[in-house]
Structure 1
Amino acid sequence: MKGFSKGGIHAPEYKISSSKAVVPFPLPEIAVVPLSQHIGAPAVPCVSKGDTVRTGQVIATAAGFVSSNIHAPVSGTVIAVDATPDAGGMRKPSVSIRTDGDVWMDGIDRSDTLIEECRLSRQEIVDKIKEAGIVGMGGATFPTHVKLSVPAGKKAECLIINGVECEPFLTADHRIMLEKGEQIVAGIEILIRALEVPRAYIGIENNKPDAIEHMERLCASRPHIEVVPLRVRYPQGGEKQLIEAVTGREVPSGGLPIDTGAVVQNVGTALAVYEAVQKNKPLIERVVTVTGKALAEPANLKVRIGTPIRSLIEFCGGLPQDAGKVINGGPMMGRAVANLDAPVTKGTSGILIIRQKGAVRKPALSCIKCAKCVGVCPMGLEPYLLSKLSKRARYDELEALKITDCIECGSCSYTCPSYLPLLDYIRLGKAETLRRIRSRKNPEK
């Protein structure tokens, strides 16, 4: 069974919503649409308070190459263009729309008819993806048109579709593979055409045998698309780990995935690409797993962007009495939600409710020099040392020890018997080290 070679952990999976079919979620009364739902520059609003908008209409345009368009997820009246609190409580620019129905823009095909053939040129495909505001749906939210624009001097040799979903609890990708497999395969064919590569691989961990079987059946007549079952190991869904698991090639330190000849896209992204190219549908909704061991009704919900997180939790039975924390994403790489009225965004893969008992950190003890954190680091780093140097602000040493290679998977903190907040300090040190590297490259900024 294929897999990546360095480190990793096998945490309890808790895929308690894996058998739950995707359910359409009701439209929000007010959709609060952030202008920064992607890596890169925030989009620039092109609507004003009082404007009437239709579902799928552009309400903010990309502010540069690494940016993404934003579209109205509902039809209604713009009631504000200002800053609203995000999930972390920070005020960020957004457009608020009071819903008055669901009147879509002309030209968007909302039927279930499968359209497989695509005769568009490479550039036409990339342009449609850019116009539709498609970003990485696995959580990273990197603009998809940027990933498909291979830099000069580099060459894409294969496409890898990420169906791993290695985070505990999350099941949205699993469900869309089962329910929208034909559309995903059509999206993969479009991505192959856009990249002009001969092959594609779909990586799926073997704890999803039904998804593996289904996707293999759909690709049986397509020898250029191979389903690759993978051993269960977190963080196999990381780009670098997935590339090694599938191709055997390692992304060099400080390098990019394209240095191995691979371009990685999430299964949700492939589905969104199909809808954008073949249906003219912009990215205005996504599947979100709402889950937790104490939650009354865990579910996979098809949710419009801008819907309050609180309403999803209420739909699933409300916050349990012993709820201690709400996580945006999975338990390993997700972030705590400080504001339940914050909206679902393009990068919201899951909402996880953790019990009070599991939400409280145990008191940190002294490092016992066991090196467990070193053994589980998938990047071959020394987390205990990086954490100590970060705490002491020794940034030159951190750079030399390649702290910027850290993918922030949290395996080190998870395995530490002394309950040290290793990743917390590493994140701080990495952020400052990156800032210093950027200031050296652009001293005038």
Structure 2
Amino acid sequence: MNSIIDRIKQNRLWDFAGGVHPKQFKSLSNKHEIAEVGLPETLYIPLKQHIGVEGKLNVGVGDKVLKGQALTHSTNPFAVPIHASTSGEIVAIDEHVSAHPSGKPETTVILKPDGLEKWCDLSPLSDYQTLPKATVVEHLCNAGISGMGGAGFPTHIKVGSEKPIHYLVINGIECEPYITSDDRLMREHAWQVRQGIDVLMHLLQPEFAIIAIEDNKPEAIQAMQVACQDADNYLVTSVPTKYPAGGEKQLIEVLTGQQIPKDKHPIDVGIVMQNVGTCFAIADAVFAGKPLIQRVVTLTGKALKAPQNVWGLIGTPISHLLEVAQYQAKKQKAPRVIIGGPMMGFTAASTKVPIVKISNCLLVPANKELPLPQDEMPCIRCGACADACPAGLLPQQLYWHAKSGELEKAQAFNLADCIECGACAFVCPSNIPLVHYYRTAKADIKIAQEEKEKSDRSKARFNARQERLEREKQEREEKRLQSAKAREQAKAAREARNQTQEVDNASQEASPQSAPVENKSDKVAAAIARAKAKKAAKNAQDDAPATNSSEKTDDNRAKESAGKSTPEPTTGQSKDERVAAAIARAKAKKAAQNAQDDAPATNSSEKTDDNRANESAGKSTPEPTTGQSKDERVAAAIARAKARKLEKEQAAKEDANKLTAETASVKEKPAPKTEVTASQETPVKDASTPKVTQKPSANETEEERQKRVAAAVAKAKARKAERDKAKAQQEHQNNSSNSGEH
């Protein structure tokens, strides 16, 4: 690096291969200061004026805009906004002829000035050194600044790089003949160019800034040296006049001796290059807050009466500038305006073509000054084009392949490295417009690449869609399998529960006594039945006769013992007669007691004669009893009938108790049952009475079973009440007999 800086300071530079030395004709326009021009009637501002994509519109037809107002906004890193060059009204947004060799129409904002020149609010960054780098870079992007040397590369992309930078090269070569816009800019605005360089040095942090100017511009060199004299790392150097020394790769080779590899860019070797016009626009945006809405345009050529450099507003039609330079149509056989210089410029398709950010010159040559291209002749294979090519290519081979449409072969000969400088066409003796063929081939290659990219994107979308559909199909199949598996598991679980329930039911049926009562209603019904039974027993005890024996007459006791409801009157009986009646009753009671005592131990087939006599007492014709009166015999028969009735009721009660116990054991744990002993009930018990045990039917419902149990319990309660009442009457009779005997 030190050797490079030493050679630059000593002005011992390198050289590049090829190149030509055309006549300059710069003195036509560099004698006067940059002039201001009036407003045109209409401004045509294209949406895209740089390498990249166009922005999105912020305005619509009929909108009023201010000078410097953004008409588009950036939606892409390679999109640079455009601004209104003056205040006025948007009258149309339509297709308009472009500043391109093809003249192809492109989207354009058509602005009608109102003549007020009213600015929008400006936001300068005078303290840019204290702000983050990203803020300054974004400010430059919003100002719409792009390279003004010819390519139009977005400036914020270059200065936003994080790669280490060794040299910042400021291109002030302006090697194209006739063009003097950069020359006049450096002469008149050297300090503002220096301010732009300061901003770039702050953003890129290079070690040195090299300002390169061709040696045919001594005034510009002196002005820049004065502007940069206080900065030791700012080097102003003159470069020998040679076309195309202003090419990016050619200038880097001249200054550093390095050749940029084929697939690399200058930034890859630590070098960034900016044009002096770009530096001026950067200073205007940072220190004044103004967006890029104008540039210096050289108006030159012998067909103009007043060639000069002017401040041309972006969007100004060529026709307006020709009026300013006093176009002389009689010096041209046909109107002819070249946008750019004679080497790389192109003929404008119309005088309505607008000035854009990369328009640095309008050349209007006279008939003899720059003759029209002559008829193309066959190539004589002289090789002069190869000698003049600064990129080291083979223009002849590129010509053959480009002309025949063999684009792949043209690419194999590095067509992309052609800088379209026009040196090959300048030296061609056959007048072959070589650059025209190269441009056409490049355009065809670009179209083919775009079509291929479009096809690849479509194919990628199709493949992605197919993959998505297949993935969704697999997901649906997996979900279906999972659902089927879940259903099978649920079915198996239900079957297992059913089998378990069947086993439990079978075990409960096999051992009903131990089966737990699972139904709450069954438990409640059983408890209610037990409570009713207890209450009925208590009521039967409470209904026992409370009449004292002393309160009854002998006749009433005799009547009650005979089973009569109405006691016979004792009026008119003597005492002896009453005593005899009482004795008869006592004997009858004793006979009944004997019959009861003998009943449990006697079978129906083994009855004694006395028992048979007692049973025959219930017949219509009683057996004669010797020594007994008629009343005594009647009383004895009544006693025997009552004894048989009590035996039947006792048997029915036992059957009901057994039925109740069997039914309750099916529904709940067996409830404790109250056993009625012989002493509590009647002492008369017939062992021959068959036991009645009713088993519930298998098809009987729970409701029917409960009804049947309730009926049996009610019957048992009624029978018990009757037995208790009969027992009480019997005891009463015994007491009466005992009292009569005494």
TM-score for the superposition, normalised by structure 2: 0.57
Question: Contact 2:165–2:207 (CA<8 Å) still a contact in 1?
Answer: no
Query: Which residue identity does 2:418 align to in structure 1?
Result: C
Question: Contact 2:99–2:356 (CA<8 Å) still a contact in 1?
Answer: no
User: What is the rounded CA distance, in whole Å, between the counterparts of 2:205 and 2:227 in structure 1?
Assistant: 21
Alignment of 1:197-236 (within 5 A): 197-236=206-245
- Say whether residues 1:107 and 2:122 are aligned partners: yes
Question: Contact 2:128–2:286 (CA<8 Å) still a contact in 1?
Answer: no
What CA deviation, in whole Å up to 9, does each residue of 1:288-323 have, x standing for no partner? 000002321101001111111111011111243122
User: What is the rounded CA distance, in whole Å, between the counterparts of 2:136 and 2:118 in structure 1?
Assistant: 26
Query: Which residue identity does 1:252 align to in structure 2?
Result: P
Structure 1 residues 217 and 108: CA distance shift in structure 2, 3 A:
same
Instruction: Give the number of equivalent residue pairs.
Output: 439
User: What is the rounded CA distance, in whole Å, between the counterparts of 2:199 and 2:29 in structure 1?
Assistant: 30
Matched residue SS, 1:444: helix
Partner of 1:425: 437
Structure 1 residues 116 and 319: CA distance shift in structure 2, 3 A:
farther
Query: Which residue identity does 2:444 align to in structure 1?
Result: E
User: What is the rounded CA distance, in whole Å, between the counterparts of 1:204 and 1:326 in structure 2?
Assistant: 27
2:110 is aligned, of 56, 74, 96, to: 96
User: What is the rounded CA distance, in whole Å, between the counterparts of 2:86 and 2:453 in structure 1?
Assistant: 42
Deviation for aligned residue 1:395: 2.1
Partner of 1:320: 329
> Which stretch shifts more, 1-10 or 412-421?
1-10
> Which stretch shifts more, 428-437 or 275-284?
428-437
Query: Which residue identity does 1:177 align to in structure 2?
Result: M
Question: Contact 2:297–2:361 (CA<8 Å) still a contact in 1?
Answer: yes
Deviation for aligned residue 1:120: 3.1
Query: Which residue identity does 1:354 align to in structure 2?
Result: P
Partner of 1:112: none
Deviation for aligned residue 1:3: 5.0
1:356 is aligned, of 318, 342, 367, to: 367
What CA deviation, in whole Å up to 9, does each residue of 1:388-427 have, x standing for no partner? 1111122222122111100010000000111112111122
User: What is the rounded CA distance, in whole Å, between the counterparts of 2:85 and 2:267 in structure 1?
Assistant: 33
Question: Contact 1:56–1:284 (CA<8 Å) still a contact in 2?
Answer: yes
Partner of 2:354: 343
Matched residue SS, 2:329: coil
Unaligned runs of 5+ in 1: 110-114
User: What is the rounded CA distance, in whole Å, between the counterparts of 1:303 and 1:230 in structure 2?
Assistant: 29
Partner of 1:136: 147
Alignment of 1:139-154 (within 5 A): 139-150=150-161, 154=163
Structure 1 residues 330 and 178: CA distance shift in structure 2, 3 A:
same
Partner of 1:189: 198
Question: Contact 1:86–1:339 (CA<8 Å) still a contact in 2?
Answer: no
- Say whether residues 1:266 and 2:279 are aligned partners: no
2:284 is aligned, of 275, 298, 306, to: 275
User: What is the rounded CA distance, in whole Å, between the counterparts of 2:311 and 2:253 in structure 1?
Assistant: 32
RMSD: 1.9
User: What is the rounded CA distance, in whole Å, between the counterparts of 1:46 and 1:413 in structure 2?
Assistant: 43
Matched residue SS, 1:70: coil
User: What is the rounded CA distance, in whole Å, between the counterparts of 1:217 and 1:3 in structure 2?
Assistant: 25
Structure 1 residues 434 and 404: CA distance shift in structure 2, 3 A:
farther
Deviation for aligned residue 1:29: 2.2
Question: Contact 1:292–1:298 (CA<8 Å) still a contact in 2?
Answer: yes
Partner of 2:559: none
User: What is the rounded CA distance, in whole Å, between the counterparts of 2:448 and 2:110 in structure 1?
Assistant: 36
Structure 1 residues 433 and 49: CA distance shift in structure 2, 3 A:
closer
- Say whether residues 1:81 and 2:93 are aligned partners: yes
User: What is the rounded CA distance, in whole Å, between the counterparts of 1:251 and 1:34 in structure 2?
Assistant: 33
Question: Contact 2:63–2:89 (CA<8 Å) still a contact in 1?
Answer: yes
Matched residue SS, 1:56: coil
User: What is the rounded CA distance, in whole Å, between the counterparts of 2:23 and 2:343 in structure 1?
Assistant: 11
Structure 1 residues 376 and 184: CA distance shift in structure 2, 3 A:
same
Deviation for aligned residue 1:433: 3.6
> Which stretch shifts more, 424-433 or 278-287?
424-433
Partner of 1:304: 313
Question: Contact 2:181–2:309 (CA<8 Å) still a contact in 1?
Answer: yes
- Say whether residues 1:165 and 2:174 are aligned partners: yes
User: What is the rounded CA distance, in whole Å, between the counterparts of 2:24 and 2:50 in structure 1?
Assistant: 28
What CA deviation, in whole Å up to 9, does each residue of 1:134-176 have, x standing for no partner? 01111211111011122x6x43222111100111000000001
Matched residue SS, 1:86: coil
User: What is the rounded CA distance, in whole Å, between the counterparts of 1:332 and 1:197 in structure 2?
Assistant: 33
| Greater strand fraction, Structure 1 or Structure 2 | 1
Matched residue SS, 2:92: strand
Larger radius of gyration: 2
> Which stretch shifts more, 219-228 or 161-170?
219-228
Query: Which residue identity does 1:375 align to in structure 2?
Result: D
Matched residue SS, 1:137: coil
User: What is the rounded CA distance, in whole Å, between the counterparts of 2:401 and 2:385 in structure 1?
Assistant: 15
> Which stretch shifts more, 335-344 or 178-187?
335-344
2:379 is aligned, of 360, 364, 367, to: 367
> Which stretch shifts more, 416-425 or 199-208?
416-425
Matched residue SS, 1:412: helix
TM-score for the superposition, normalised by structure 1: 0.94
User: What is the rounded CA distance, in whole Å, between the counterparts of 2:104 and 2:168 in structure 1?
Assistant: 36
Deviation for aligned residue 1:370: 1.7
